[in-house]
Amino acid sequence: MKKTKNSIIAIILSIILVIFIWHKFLVSGNSVIFILLFAGFYYFLAEELKNLNKRKCIVSLIIAVIFGFIEIICSSINIDYTLGNIIDKWNIINFMGYTILAWSIILKIYSMTENYKQCDEQEIKIGRVRILSNNKVSFLINMLLILIAWLPYFLRYYPGLLTADSCAQVTQAIGNSRLTSHHPVFHTSIISIFINIGVFIFNNINTGVALYTIFQMILLATMFSGVLQYLSKRKTPLSIKLIILVFYMFYPINGLFSVTMWKDVLFAGIIPIFLTLCSELIFNTDEFFKEKKNIIIYIVISVFVFLMRNNGMYVVILTMPFIAVVLRKYLTKVIPMFLGIIAMYLIINTALFSILNIQKGSIAEMLSIPLQQIARVQKYHNDELDDETKQEIDKFFNVTNIGEKYNPILSDPVKAELNEMYFNEHKSEFIKLWIKLLKTNFKDYVESFISNSYGYYYPEAKHWVANRTMEKNKLGLEQTPIINGKLVSKVDSLIEKRD
């Protein structure tokens, strides 16, 4: 009876997947293709359903449904930055297709991780050398493989990619403008070291940029290799480690970002290290607390998380209550460790900033979401706003009609026009204005939030890739490619497909 039920479910799900693939990706095609697709889906789903337990089914289905909703909602945003394209007869099939596809993949991953202990071989051996293994030689080889894969990007975009934010940090690094916390001071300090080496030793600021780029590439590859080594320690299946290594090496965005002077790049590298430490803390608690060096490393990495991004502290703080609940039997050890992290944060953000006379960054950086939402309302509903409301909005900005500055995917133009002095004196009025507009423009608020963030969680987002040219500047920074061959251009063209 159960076998028949599973077969019927597999048939229904396979039919939906075939229709989804036909409509979303193929549109037309030979009937043989669809028969083969159906057979493949049926075989795969039937096998997974055989050993499906309730817990695995519910967890994987929740994740898959979330993914399905993200695909449908963000596909509409991706067209014209509104939710107006959601109501479509095909979106029901698309939602079901994305959900079933994601559910199937998640089930397969679960199956692979459950059965990995049955596999003795979890590494690749080339002579005496072991790759993707938990040893120092493997760590170095993985790092070198990643670096070699990224080398064409360095040669193609020499000395590196710099945007407006990057140039602002370089300006602070060479002392042409006051050091502020608008960008992470720690990251600006790292940039300063290499830029000044280039200027004072090589008499060339571009050499300084190149030295920083090399440093960033090595550090990022080291952190990625550290993740692979940890996976080996956890006896992760070889196939999964190999997929991750290939992703690190050949996914174009990784290579592009490795040569981009952004705080986000090193932050993206430190976060997986932080997560591996959290994993070790939770799953190997007794061993973790046996050695004091583990506690020190956890505190140091946590500090680096908030040093690399001003909002990194939120990541660290938000993990604390969850870890405390899971490790409630170890609170006498966990709480002092957390207090140490918080103490370091307070020391750096108060005493150290005061001693170094570091100017606080703009308050506008904390208000990206509400500022964008207000600007969107004025852009698309200005005629519907009464004069009093328009005047209230104008008081908080340095321009009349902030809606004209609104860009759905970039908050900088709006943030730049915030009247900080007026805002600081009328914060409660700003909150009242925001709530007032929310009541009549809820949909616009939602659309504004998704438009400004969907590139972080929607795989097919457009225009979410860093610029591949050097920002125009007066610092003497210029891009001088060392190579510009057909192969590099071909690889680079793959990045365009993400735009």
SS3 sequence, 430-486? HHHHHHHHHHHCHHHHHHHHHHCCHHHCCCCCCCCCCCCCCCCCCCCCCCCCCCCCH
Residue 477 has, within 13 A of its CA and on its CB side, a CA count of 27
Q: Specify the pLDDT at position 123.
A: 61
Cβ-Cβ contacts under 8 Å for 219 (sequence gap 6 or more): 266, 269
Q: Specify the pLDDT at position 381.
A: 94
How far apart, in whole angstroms, are the C-alpha atoms of residue 64 and residue 108?
13
- Assess whether the previous peptide bond of 459 is cis (omega < 30° from 0): no
Q: Is 99 exposed, middle or buried (0-12, 13-18, 19+ CB in 10 A)?
A: buried
Q: Specify the pLDDT at position 127.
A: 60
How far apart, in whole angstroms, are the C-alpha atoms of residue 107 and residue 91?
24
Helix (H, G, I), strand (E, B) or coil at 160: coil
Cβ-Cβ contacts under 8 Å for 189 (sequence gap 6 or more): 173
How far apart, in whole angstroms, are the C-alpha atoms of residue 432 and residue 277?
42
Per the structure block, which two tokens stand in for 195?
């830029």
How far apart, in whole angstroms, are the C-alpha atoms of residue 375 and residue 447?
12
Paired residues of 125 in beta bridges: 130
How far apart, in whole angstroms, are the C-alpha atoms of residue 54 and residue 453?
34
Per the structure block, which two tokens stand in for 355?
């001693």
* Beta carbons within 10 angstroms of residue 177's beta carbon: 13
Entry pTM: 0.83
DSSP result, 103-127: HHHHHHHHHHHHHGGG-S--SEEET
- What are the φ/ψ torsions at residue 398 (nearest 5 degrees)? -90, 0
How far apart, in whole angstroms, are the C-alpha atoms of residue 453 and residue 63?
19
Cβ-Cβ contacts under 8 Å for 350 (sequence gap 6 or more): none
Paired residues of 129 in beta bridges: 126
Q: Specify the pLDDT at position 466.
A: 61
* Beta carbons within 10 angstroms of residue 185's beta carbon: 23
Per the structure block, which two tokens stand in for 285?
């608690």
How far apart, in whole angstroms, are the C-alpha atoms of residue 457 and residue 51?
31
Per the structure block, which two tokens stand in for 165?
């934010």
Q: Is 425 exposed, middle or buried (0-12, 13-18, 19+ CB in 10 A)?
A: exposed
**Could you list the pLDDT tens digit for every one of the 499 residues in the chain?**
667 877 888 888 888 888 888 877 765 555 677 788 888 888 888 877 777 778 888 889 999 999 999 999 999 998 899 999 888 878 888 999 999 999 988 888 877 766 655 454 566 666 666 677 888 889 999 999 999 999 999 999 999 999 988 999 999 999 888 888 888 889 999 999 999 999 999 999 999 999 999 999 999 999 999 999 999 888 888 888 899 999 999 988 899 999 999 999 999 999 999 999 999 999 999 999 999 999 999 999 999 999 998 888 889 999 999 999 999 999 999 999 999 999 998 888 777 777 777 777 778 888 899 999 999 999 999 999 999 999 999 999 999 989 999 999 989 899 999 999 999 999 999 999 999 999 999 999 999 999 999 988 888 877 656 677 788 888 999 999 988 766 666 666 665 555 4
